[in-house]
C-alpha cells in the first residue's frame, strides 16, 4: 500500500466524533477501498478534558485550530467548526496556504465564501471537498458534479433541512401548532436552542445556493436566494391542505431558464402523491433534472453524526485514492455570472386562507378583489365558524404572478370583514413542468 493519508480534524462535536468513529471502525475496509490507510494525526477543539466517548490519546492536541492547520503533520485538514467567517474560514485558508487539502461539512462557509476558497485551492494545487455540507448522508454533490456531468441540469428541488421537515411532519401528524412542536424538537435535540437558521430557511438557502452553482455552473448566489421560513404555518393549514390533496413541505427550488436563474426557499403545498410527499421526519430528498437523464431522485438522512460523518469520510477516501475534483465542477474563474430571477416573476398557483366575519356580501367582495386582479379561482372551500364566530374561506388559484396576488390581497386590506392577515402558501408542481 501507499503511504498513509494523514489528516487533522478541527472541531470535535457530533460530526467530528462521528468521523473519528467511522475511520476507526472501518479502518481496514477504507484502506482496501482507497489503497492506503487514513490516519488521524491531530485534533483540535475547545475543551480537551471533555469525555467524547472516543480515544483521542494517540493524536496530537492543538488548542488553536489555525496553528494546527499550519503545522500539524497532515495532508488534509477536516474543518468541522462551523460558521461562514472567523475561525472556520481562518482554518480553511491556513490549510490551503500550507498546501493541505480541505474537507468540510460547513454549508455556510461554502455558500458564502466557497468561490474564493475554491480559487485559492486551485492556485495551491489542493482540493476543497464538501459532500457533507449538503443533505447529510445523501451523496448529492458527487451525483450532480460527476454523475450528471454529461447533462445540462435545468432544475434542482429539495427538502434540505431535517429540522423543518421534522416540525412540519409532526404538526401534520399531531394537529399541534408550530410553537409547541418546535419546543419538543428542541427538547429531543432535533432543533438548536436558537433554531433561527433552520426555521427561517437560512440553512436550506445555503445548501440550495451550493446546489444551484454546481448544477448550473454559475457563481454562488446565496444573497440572491429568496427565503421564507415556517413561522406562519398553522395546524389549520394542514387540515385544509389534506382536504385539497396536498402536503406542506419547506422546499428549496432552483431552476435555470433563458431569463436567468431562480433560487427560492419557502414552505409550499405539494401533491400528496408526488415523489417528495412521503419524505418525513429528519430525512432529506433532492430531485435533479437533466436534459438527457431526465429526473433523478435522491433520498436519505439529512443530518446527524452518522450520515454527515459518512459523507466526510467519503471525501477523505476520494482524496486518498487520488480522485481529486474541482470544487464546483469547473475552474472557479469559469463560473458564469448569476443573473437572478426575482420572486416577483414567479408564476404558479396559490393557496389562500382568509378568516372573515360571516356576513352577507363578504364572498362577493372577495370575488371582486380577485377579479379586479385578473385572478381565476380553481377551487374554494368555506368552512363553519371558529370559536370567535368567524368563517374560513380557502381559495386555490390557477397559475398567477406574485404581483397579481399582491394586488388582490391589497384590495382586501381595508375590508372590515377580513379579521386577520391572509395566510398564503405557494403551490408547487415538483414533478411536472
* Cα–Cα distance, 295 to 34 (Å, whole number): 31
Kindly report the backbone phi and psi dihedral angles of residue 392, in degrees, each rounded to the nearest multiple of 5, phi listed first: -110, 130
Active site residues: 207
Long-range contacts of 92-96 (CB under 8 A, 24+ apart): 92/117, 92/128, 93/117, 93/120, 94/66, 94/69, 94/70, 95/69, 96/120, 96/121, 96/124, 96/126, 96/128
Question: How do 390-397 and 350-357 pair as beta strands?
Answer: antiparallel
Quote the DSSP letter at residue 145: I
Contacts of 424 (CB under 8 A, 6+ apart): 350, 351, 352, 353, 405, 409
Spell out the residues 6+ positions from residue 305 whose beta carbon is closer than 8 angstroms to its own: 14, 15, 17, 18, 21
Lookup: cell for 128: 476543497
Please report how many Cα atoms fall inside a 13 Å half-sphere around the Cα of residue 320, on the Cβ side.
Answer: 27
Radius of gyration (C-alpha) of the chain in whole angstroms = 24
Please choose, from the candidates 27, 12, 76, the residue with its C-alpha nearest in 3D space to the C-alpha of residue 319: 76
Residue 348, strand partner residues? 400
Q: Please calculate the CA angle 327-161-251 and round it to the nearest 5 degrees.
A: 95
Our separate counts of H helices and E strands in the chain read 14, 18
Location of C-alpha cell 394537529 = 175
- Are 396 and 370 a contacting pair, CB within 8 Å? no
* Grid coordinates belonging to 4: 498513509
Amino acid at each position: 500500500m501507499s503511504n498513509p493519508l494523514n489528516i487533522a480534524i478541527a472541531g470535535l462535536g457530533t460530526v467530528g466524533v462521528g468521523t473519528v468513529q467511522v475511520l476507526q471502525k472501518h479502518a481496514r475496509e477504507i484502506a482496501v477501498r482507497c489503497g492506503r490507510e487514513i490516519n488521524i494525526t491531530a485534533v483540535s477543539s475547545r475543551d480537551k478534558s471533555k469525555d467524547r466517548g472516543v480515544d483521542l490519546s494517540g493524536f496530537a492536541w492543538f488548542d488553536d485550530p489555525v496553528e494546527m492547520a499550519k503545522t500539524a503533520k497532515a495532508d488534509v485538514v477536516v474543518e468541522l467548526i462551523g460558521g461562514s467567517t472567523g475561525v472556520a474560514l481562518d482554518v480553511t485558508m491556513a490549510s490551503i496556504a500550507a498546501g493541505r487539502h480541505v474537507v468540510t461539512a460547513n454549508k455556510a462557509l461554502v455558500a458564502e465564501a466557497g468561490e474564493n476558497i475554491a480559487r485559492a485551492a486551485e492556485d495551491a494545487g489542493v482540493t476543497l471537498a464538501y459532500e457533507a455540507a449538503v443533505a447529510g448522508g445523501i451523496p448529492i454533490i458527487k451525483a450532480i458534479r460527476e454523475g450528471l456531468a454529461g447533462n445540462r441540469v435545468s432544475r434542482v428541488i429539495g427538502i434540505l433541512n431535517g429540522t423543518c421537515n421534522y416540525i412540519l411532519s409532526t404538526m401534520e401528524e399531531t394537529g399541534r401548532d408550530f410553537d409547541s412542536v418546535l419546543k419538543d424538537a428542541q427538547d429531543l435535540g432535533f432543533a438548536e436552542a436558537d433554531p433561527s437558521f433552520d426555521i427561517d430557511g437560512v440553512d436550506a438557502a445555503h445548501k440550495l445556493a451550493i446546489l444551484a452553482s454546481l448544477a448550473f455552473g454559475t457563481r454562488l448566489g446565496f444573497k440572491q436566494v429568496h427565503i421564507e421560513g415556517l413561522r406562519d404555518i398553522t395546524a389549520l393549514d394542514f387540515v385544509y391542505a389534506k382536504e385539497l390533496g396536498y402536503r406542506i413541505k419547506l422546499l428549496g427550488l432552483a431552476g435555470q431558464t433563458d431569463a436567468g436563474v431562480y433560487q427560492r426557499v419557502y414552505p409550499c403545498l405539494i401533491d400528496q402523491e408526488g415523489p417528495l410527499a412521503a419524505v418525513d421526519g429528519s430525512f432529506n430528498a433532492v430531485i435533479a433534472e437533466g436534459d438527457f437523464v431526465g429526473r433523478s431522485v435522491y433520498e436519505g438522512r439529512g443530518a446527524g453524526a452518522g450520515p454527515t460523518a459518512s459523507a466526510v469520510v467519503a471525501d477523505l477516501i476520494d482524496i486518498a485514492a487520488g480522485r481529486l475534483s474541482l470544487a464546483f465542477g469547473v475552474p472557479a474563474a469559469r463560473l458564469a455570472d448569476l443573473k437572478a430571477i426575482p420572486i416577483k416573476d414567479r408564476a404558479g398557483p396559490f393557496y389562500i386562507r382568509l378568516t372573515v366575519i360571516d356576513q352577507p356580501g363578504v364572498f362577493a367582495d372577495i370575488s371582486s378583489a380577485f377579479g379586479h386582479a385578473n385572478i381565476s379561482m380553481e377551487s374554494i372551500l368555506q368552512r363553519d365558524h371558529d370559536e370567535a364566530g368567524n368563517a374560513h374561506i380557502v381559495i386555490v388559484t390557477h397559475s398567477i404572478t406574485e404581483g397579481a396576488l399582491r394586488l388582490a390581497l391589497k384590495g382586501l386590506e381595508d375590508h372590515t370583514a377580513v379579521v386577520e392577515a391572509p395566510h398564503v402558501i405557494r403551490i408547487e408542481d415538483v414533478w411536472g413542468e
